Amino acid sequence: MGQSIAEKIIAKAAGKKTVQTGEIVTCAVDLAMIHDSGGPRRVKPAMEKLGVGVWDPAKIVLVSDHFAPCTDAESAAILKLTREWAAEQGILNFYDQQGICHVVTPERGHLAPGMFAVGGDSHSPTGGAFGCYMFGIGATDMLGVLVTGETWIKVPETIRINWSGQLGTGLAAKDMALKMCATLGMDGGGYQAIQYAGETIRNLDMLERMTLCNMAAELGAQAGIIEPDEVTAAYVEAAGGTPGDWRDFQSDQDATYAVTHEFDATNLEPQVAAPHSPANAADVSAIEKAEIDQFYIGACTGAKLGDLKMAASILEGKKVAKGKRLTIAPASSQILTQATKQGIIEILLDAGASLLPPGCGACAGYGVGVLAEDEVCLASTARNFQGRMGASSSKVYLASPYTVAASAVTGHIVDPREVL
């Protein structure tokens, strides 16, 4: 019986030739990613009590992104603790206020095909875009990984999602992700592995693939993964990494899948998710033209360089609607630099956008840009749970950067193809 890419990576990490669905194995971790919110401040006390240090400082990526930049004494103390722990443990790959962990880690060359990786955040499946098996774990499990370099896993089933056809103008991977959330629901992944495949997936660039794998979490999957190809290898090399024998990590023709879902991008409409769940997504034509207070382009899902380019293609020569606000929080400092050099930031600012520092920020309800009572927001983020971006009475709609930018021009939710 053939093996899926997920099974191949898990088998390699477990030191076995093959693994079977449902089997529980112990795996060597190639990389552990943690951030300031769920990292040092959670594991430091336990490590000190046990009198132990990290197993391999070179295999840990630490990013301060949730409380960065600090907005009060409490968040400043968390960042101070994070910096001190990094120095104590000799963490070689510490990125302090350089952007969001899910974006910084691959753009700095730390991910490559075939890796078995864990992250201390629910959107860690982003790493699957690079042909890694990467999933999120809690602080207790992360403590075990940091100390031993190993973790256990129950070999998941693989759910295959095929996409055929070509995305139309004004559509993006975010629309694909929301369509899947609406169709399959937030438990459609069943805490198994989702493998994205098909013509549409192969034609996506790496940034768009990251969006899909990132939002495997919204489908309830443990991991989302895409088979590596020449596009993957080129990105990894450009980031300073080594793609290795990426051709070894392809699913066998006779691999077994729990279920296969088919989607067609040909006639896909832009999608908008109504409060308070990504599963509330529907065609933009079916969504009421709700009045919006804040338009937000940010987060690991919606503020990569490609996302900012989408927004700029809409906003060039236009202005944000009077009385409305558009806030932009680039996903990393590297992206901010690139977007500035390419003139993208100038276009966004000329349109009336406000530029926020790179980081998780308002997406996770931290720092600047959060919502007041009863405010309504249209965001390029992955989640719109009640109270996540600010006051509990606020409401958040989700959409692609195209749709967010176009709607910022009109002041209400609109099909971006009407503005392009």
pLDDT-flagged residues of the chain (< 50) = none
The residue type found at 48 is: E
CA 255 to chain centre: 27
User: Angle CA(278)–CA(280)–CA(286) in degrees, nearest 5?
Assistant: 125
Q: Where are the domains of the chain?
A: 5-263, 273-418
CATH class held by domain 5-263: alpha beta
The pTM of this model reads 0.97
Q: Quick one: pLDDT at residue 368?
A: 86
Grouping H, G, I as helix, E, B as strand and the rest as coil, residue 35 is strand
- The reply to whether 273-418 shares the fold of 5-263 is yes
The Cα 280–Cα 397 span in angstroms is 9
Span 120-178, pLDDT tens digits: 999 999 999 999 999 999 999 999 999 999 999 999 999 999 999 999 999 999 999 99
Ordered DSSP codes for 247-294: GG-S--TTB--SEEEEEE-TTPPPEEEPTT-GGGEEEGGGS---B-SE
Tell me the fold of 273-418: Aconitase; domain 3 (3.30.499)
Span 352-395, pLDDT tens digits: 999 999 999 899 998 889 999 999 999 999 999 999 999 999 99
Helical packing angle, 333-341 and 305-315, nearest 10°: 40
The Cα 258–Cα 88 span in angstroms is 45
User: 326 phi and psi, to 5 degrees?
Assistant: -120, 120
